[in-house]
Structure 1
Amino acid sequence: ITHYLYGGDWENRLKQELLLGLGGIRALRAMGIKQEVYHCNEGHAAFIGIERIRDLVRRKLTFSEALEVVRSSSLFTTHTPVPAGHDAFPESMIRQYLAHYPDVLGITWEQFINLGKTNPNDPEERFSMSVLACNLSQEVNGVSWLHGEVSKDILGNMWPGYFKNELHIGYVTNGVHFPTWCASNLRRLYMRYFPEGFSGHDYDIPAWQKVHDIPAAELWQERIFLKHKLVDHIRKRYSDPAQVRIDSPRQMVQIVEGIKPDVLTIGFARRFATYKRAYLLFTNLDRLSAIVNNKERPVQFIFAGKAHPNDKPGQDLIKRIVEVAAMPQFVGKILFLQNYDMELARKMVQGVDVWLNTPTRPLEASGTSGEKCVMNGVLQFSVLDGWWVEGYKEGAGWALPMERTFADQRFQDELDAEMIYNTIEEQIVPLYYKRDEQNIPRDWVESVKRCVADIAANFTTNRMMRDYEERFYGKLAARRHEIVAGDYMLAREIAAWKRRISAAWDKVRIVEVKQAKIDREAMFVGEHYPFEIKIDVADLRPEDIGAELVVAKQIEYGQPVNVIETVPLERTAVEGTTVTYALDYRSGRSGSFDVALRIYPSNPHLPHRMDFALVKWA
């Protein structure tokens, strides 16, 4: 079951994830490795939480107490912005392999299977590994700012009563490993001019500005050296029948002679999923032919990559590129390199002039290939999606807009293709071929310097790890210490409190609501408006319930609710089980808004209120 990562059927996939999660924790235990914080990368490893709970239950904690401990020290990172990319299995398949686990954990089968369901007790809903990971983790993040926002849409139904922009899903934008992906000649050059930039445990990002001290001729010479290496590698590949399949020896000669290091070179290499839209460049072949066959300012395109074995549309994309590359007008001008591997990837991200990326927005979670390029001075030309939303700087690369113009994807593709052609012809080509008397494109080199100083410095794994430490790891480690202190005292208290709230919540009633009289359905900025709500807390204590005013931008049909403010109400009176909460609200902003009152269980020890998503609306 470990021979192929993505091979086999769904049952084989489940076996792999059981081995990774349950087996992974047992392997760490067998090696004597004890950690304070566990980071679950993608839902594939979500069973680590189940196995950790099993260990704690063996130490005489209840399931709910063990759950609080595991959650307090767990981070879940989701990597895919496509709902179909989140693994989910039929309940019957989970039962086949894990039927004994509820007894081990001291819970019912329904409690166990509901850990992976957004809608508890729905027999038709599959067991989602991402839902399981969320339920077992205190913190959740995406791998770029935009992906974090998209993840709130995908996972938001887990927290009913709270809206997308209230959720605690954060982000850490992916980075790439500088020593692995930066060319050795450029590393040596950078070390001469700003060694302090990456010599310590934490990279000194401001020091990277010293790339501007490098003479243009020297930096350009190193860039040309890398292009020669790429071209030599391509020629070597095309001269080896074992590396590429070609129609005839004549075609091989045309390609070997056609690829040139002094021609503007645009690269496109990645997994060929359809959302990457590799086909955009071939929307208008006449236009493309005019670009690559311009006698004074030619352009050459290099494609490489693989499709998933089960992705027929992705395989068809590659087939189309190969067909176009074999057309007489494109031979030696457009290349598809077979047998894509890390060696070829490294040479491409170091040797091309421009990196092209054309995903359908917002389906690029991060997109690290472009990050590998920019540290080598390769300029990025991409849709404003994934990491490029944060990375793009004018004058250091090019961007297609983030916002859609057309709802119909075909129209959007056509518009984006035109924008790609126009940008290449009107901006990229003139900048590259504008040379001084020494044949150096000084304006282009200036863009390369800005690319390294202002962009690449911010997208290393060094920065990424620091973000994880500051935003999540430190917080989780502190939380775990708090939750386990005194023989798990706080874990036991929170678990008991949640059980008590859950048992009584259905009896909690909103008895009466009084709100300000609003003339002509308008509030005036600076005026005072009183709100009051009376709640029968039933068997609960007054301090167990909180109330707040939720202010959202005016809700449009079919659009997500955008909460802009929540204002707590104060407890003003207690008469038996009836508790009164009041607010003297004063609006400080103009505009059209919807307002409502929301009550919820209140406990200062909860890190995120929506993780205990019991809500009633007035």
Structure 2
Amino acid sequence: MLFPDYIFETSWEVCNKVGGIYTVLSTRAKTLQDRIKDHIIFIGPDCWDDTSSPYFREDKSLFSVWQHTAAAEGLKIKVGRWTIPGEPIAILVDFQSYFQQKDDIYGKLWEYYQVDSLHAYGDYDDSAMFSYATALVVESFYKFYLSEKDKVVFHANEWQTGFAVLELQRRLPQIASIFTTHATCIGRSIAGNNKPLYEYLWAYNGDQMARELNMESKHSIEKQTAHHVDCFTTVSDITAKECQELLDKSVDVILPNGFEDDFVPKGAKFTAKRSAARKKLLSVANALTGSDVADDALIISTSGRYEFRNKGIDVFIEAINRLRFDDRLNKQVVAFIEVPGWLAGPRQDLVERIASGKHFDSPLEMPMLTHWLHNMDNDNVLSMMRSLGMNNAKDDKVKLIFIPCYLTGDDGVLNMSYYDLVIGNDLCVYPSYYEPWGYTPLEAIAFKVPCITTDLAGFGLWANDEKGKDSDIEDGVQVLHRTDYNYSDVADGIKDTIIRYAALPKAAVDKCRSHAVRLSKKALWSKFIKYYEQAYDIALHKAASRTL
């Protein structure tokens, strides 16, 4: 198998923590850095102007001679290290100057590849200009340091970087290209617009749906990149089906998302962190609701992007509401929704209560919310809770609390990072309707927290494959069957699983937790990197045949 001498990998999320692709790249980086040292180079957007990025450390001594040459060519770049395990080289690209050439760039994309940019709006232009600039940076570096004797792969992630693949293929056809779509534009949009995706997937025409959903330009670049790239990839079997139906292109390789577990504490440190997380979460519950919450209360959470239907936030709320009325539940439950909303700021009344260290027997106003929002009246989570009468009454054995902020350790209320909090959970629930992979359940089980997910998530399908059957909570992951129409069944499935888990004796719970972490070990990058090796091989052979 061919393996590259150099890999250039680009994404809007290189040194820019905005979503799950950041986790994919930043956790995989060390595996590649260990293998080819500084011959893996990540390229991301310079979103920071004159301020310093918390994820990037500039080093002007790296490729210093080329940096001067690139500057003379009009390229505005910063070269340094991505401050993640492995500390790979990263190049941040300032793309603002290319907006004045936008019409000409779009014209050539249409001329060479029939990419339709006429209906562009929103983030399309930023992505296109960044991607175009990225192609110029790689071309400059290649011509300065490399030659056709070097096996070079350019790996683009998501539609935002498809322009770079196409531009490079035209300029330097000897560079092998890989394109990974982590979720198709049209699939996500169909699901997000409350249309049934799966039952009718075979009948949808991607181009037609792009026109209907006003996604023509994003769909066009994604589709044309998929068709022209040397190796087209995605992250799961379920998204591969989307690609086949909506992009009219089958994938060459599936690249499941692995991770590294070096962020999981061990031994006594694990125990201490779990205890601290539980103490914090239960103190927030008491301070908000004024209820007596037992130390052995079952702590449950869901988290992720605020995609109310796609991430299953709606069905999670429904399940927790039904749990309130089920007499079989033998424990108190405190459930958290950890999803960033339109944040106005921390609640000072809550902050003062927590700081006092006292125990409270009366609730605060709106005892289901840790931070104020700008859109209190029309927030989806609060609206659904109001419609169901979920107000965390004192006699409710089930409480539901919305934490509408990024858990980075400085939110003003909990002041603990997401990883430092998730360790305190007893169960995590991710009942996704649309989820190409799903990092949150994988992270949960790495912290020995069993989770509930669905077979519409790539991770859920993988867990079933690993078990050779439908995975149950006793296996560490409960995978519920989900369709376009069985919302109520999924809500009952979540409720019943929580009740069953709450009734398990300690020895059985310990076994569930052990099975969870054991499953997570099968998703380490050391296990999954082989799929990338296949993709590199396919791309390099294809590029070699193109340049003969």
The partner residue of 1:336 within 373, 395, 402 is: 402
- Deviation readout 1:488-510 (Å, 9 max, x if unpaired): 3x2xxxxxxxxxxxxxxxxxxxx
Report the Cα offset of residue 423 of structure 1: 2.1
- Is this contact kept in 2: 1:22–1:48, CA < 8 A? yes
- Deviation readout 1:257-295 (Å, 9 max, x if unpaired): 64554222111111121222212244377642246995x
The partner residue of 1:302 within 336, 341, 361 is: 336
* In 2: Cα distance, 1:77 partner to 1:233 partner: 39
Q: Secondary structure at the match of 1:351?
A: coil
Matched, 1:429 2:502: yes
- Deviation readout 1:436-469 (Å, 9 max, x if unpaired): xxxxx1121122222222x101222343333212
Report the Cα offset of residue 77 of structure 1: 0.9
Q: Against the structure 1 CA distance between its residues 254 and 25, is the aligned structure 2 distance closer, same or farther, given a 3 Å change threshold? A: closer
Q: Against the structure 1 CA distance between its residues 262 and 224, is the aligned structure 2 distance closer, same or farther, given a 3 Å change threshold? A: farther
Matched, 1:347 2:439: no
Q: Against the structure 1 CA distance between its residues 45 and 313, is the aligned structure 2 distance closer, same or farther, given a 3 Å change threshold? A: farther
Alignment of 1:110-509 (within 5 A): 126-127=216-217, 128-156=220-248, 167-180=250-263, 182=264, 184=265, 186=266, 189=267, 225-234=272-281, 238=284, 253=287, 255=289, 258-273=292-307, 274-283=309-318, 287-290=322-325, 296-307=330-341, 315-317=379-381, 319-321=383-385, 324-330=390-396, 333-343=399-409, 344-360=417-433, 363-384=434-455, 385-392=457-464, 393=467, 394=472, 395-402=474-481, 404=483, 409=485, 412-425=486-499, 427-431=500-504, 434=505, 441-453=506-518, 455-469=519-533, 471-480=534-543, 482-483=544-545, 488=547, 490=548
- Is this contact kept in 2: 1:303–1:336, CA < 8 A? yes
Count residues with an aligned counterpart. Answer: 359
Give, as a single letter, the amino acid of the residue that structure 1 aligns with 2:304. R
Give, as a single letter, the amino acid of the residue that structure 2 aligns with 1:483. S
- Is this contact kept in 1: 2:157–2:181, CA < 8 A? yes
Report the Cα offset of residue 420 of structure 1: 1.8
Give, as a single letter, the amino acid of the residue that structure 2 aligns with 1:366. W
Alignment of 1:524-543 (within 5 A): none
- Deviation readout 1:321-358 (Å, 9 max, x if unpaired): 58735444459832222322344321233221111011
Q: Against the structure 1 CA distance between its residues 345 and 29, is the aligned structure 2 distance closer, same or farther, given a 3 Å change threshold? A: same
* In 2: Cα distance, 1:382 partner to 1:416 partner: 10
- Is this contact kept in 2: 1:373–1:379, CA < 8 A? yes
Q: Against the structure 1 CA distance between its residues 3 and 270, is the aligned structure 2 distance closer, same or farther, given a 3 Å change threshold? A: same
**Aligned equivalent of 2:177:** 74
Give, as a single letter, the amino acid of the residue that structure 1 aligns with 2:475. A
Q: Against the structure 1 CA distance between its residues 326 and 81, is the aligned structure 2 distance closer, same or farther, given a 3 Å change threshold? A: farther
Matched, 1:17 2:88: no
Give, as a single letter, the amino acid of the residue that structure 2 aligns with 1:429. A
Q: Against the structure 1 CA distance between its residues 450 and 349, is the aligned structure 2 distance closer, same or farther, given a 3 Å change threshold? A: same
Give, as a single letter, the amino acid of the residue that structure 2 aligns with 1:228. S
* In 2: Cα distance, 1:45 partner to 1:311 partner: 33
- Is this contact kept in 2: 1:258–1:333, CA < 8 A? no
Give ranges in structure 2 of 5+ residues lacking alignment.
1-44, 49-118, 191-205, 344-373, 410-416
Q: Against the structure 1 CA distance between its residues 222 and 234, is the aligned structure 2 distance closer, same or farther, given a 3 Å change threshold? A: same
Q: Against the structure 1 CA distance between its residues 398 and 291, is the aligned structure 2 distance closer, same or farther, given a 3 Å change threshold? A: farther
Q: Against the structure 1 CA distance between its residues 222 and 424, is the aligned structure 2 distance closer, same or farther, given a 3 Å change threshold? A: farther
Q: Against the structure 1 CA distance between its residues 287 and 77, is the aligned structure 2 distance closer, same or farther, given a 3 Å change threshold? A: same
* In 2: Cα distance, 1:365 partner to 1:313 partner: 31
* In 1: Cα distance, 2:290 partner to 2:274 partner: 15
Q: Compute the TM-score of the two structures, normalised by the length of structure 1.
A: 0.51
* In 1: Cα distance, 2:166 partner to 2:324 partner: 57
Q: Secondary structure at the match of 1:283?
A: helix
Report the Cα offset of residue 132 of structure 1: 2.2
- Is this contact kept in 2: 1:230–1:347, CA < 8 A? yes
* In 2: Cα distance, 1:43 partner to 1:350 partner: 34
Give, as a single letter, the amino acid of the residue that structure 2 aligns with 1:420. I
- Is this contact kept in 2: 1:267–1:355, CA < 8 A? yes
Give, as a single letter, the amino acid of the residue that structure 1 aligns with 2:498. I
* In 2: Cα distance, 1:306 partner to 1:264 partner: 23
Q: Against the structure 1 CA distance between its residues 284 and 269, is the aligned structure 2 distance closer, same or farther, given a 3 Å change threshold? A: closer
- Is this contact kept in 2: 1:324–1:330, CA < 8 A? no
Q: Against the structure 1 CA distance between its residues 255 and 231, is the aligned structure 2 distance closer, same or farther, given a 3 Å change threshold? A: farther
Q: Against the structure 1 CA distance between its residues 257 and 125, is the aligned structure 2 distance closer, same or farther, given a 3 Å change threshold? A: closer
Q: Against the structure 1 CA distance between its residues 147 and 474, is the aligned structure 2 distance closer, same or farther, given a 3 Å change threshold? A: same
Give, as a single letter, the amino acid of the residue that structure 1 aligns with 2:508. D
Q: Against the structure 1 CA distance between its residues 389 and 17, is the aligned structure 2 distance closer, same or farther, given a 3 Å change threshold? A: same
* In 1: Cα distance, 2:215 partner to 2:296 partner: 57
Q: Secondary structure at the match of 1:334?
A: strand
Q: Secondary structure at the match of 1:443?
A: helix
* In 2: Cα distance, 1:321 partner to 1:278 partner: 11
Q: What's the RMSD between the two structures over aligned residues?
A: 3.9
